[in-house]
Amino acid sequence: MNKDDFLYPRGRYYGQVKPENLVFNANLQEFAQRVSYICNLETNGKLPPGEAYEQIRDLWQQLKRSKIELRIGEDPFKDDQGEVEG
């Protein structure tokens, strides 16, 4: 088993298979894994609460940017004004 596969396991994706959904799902799983590590470090006294908060906030901002850049949740057939193109 690869060390990275052990440390960062990935669950299977069952949603609508589109490249942007797969990328976002991978980003979401990485976010969850890292938040879990940060929480464990903070709980065990290895990381101050303020630093844990800052790290999680930074990870959240990265995930939010990923969602926006990948246009997750947007209707690809609507223009900027919300009208259906056609």
Least-confidence region, from 2-6, 21-25, 49-53: 2-6
- Tell me the pLDDT tens digit for each residue of 11-35: 888 888 999 999 999 999 999 999 9
pTM: 0.78
Q: Which residue has the tokens 């990948």?
A: 70
- 82 to 42, 64, 67, 76: CA distances (angstroms): 44, 21, 19, 10
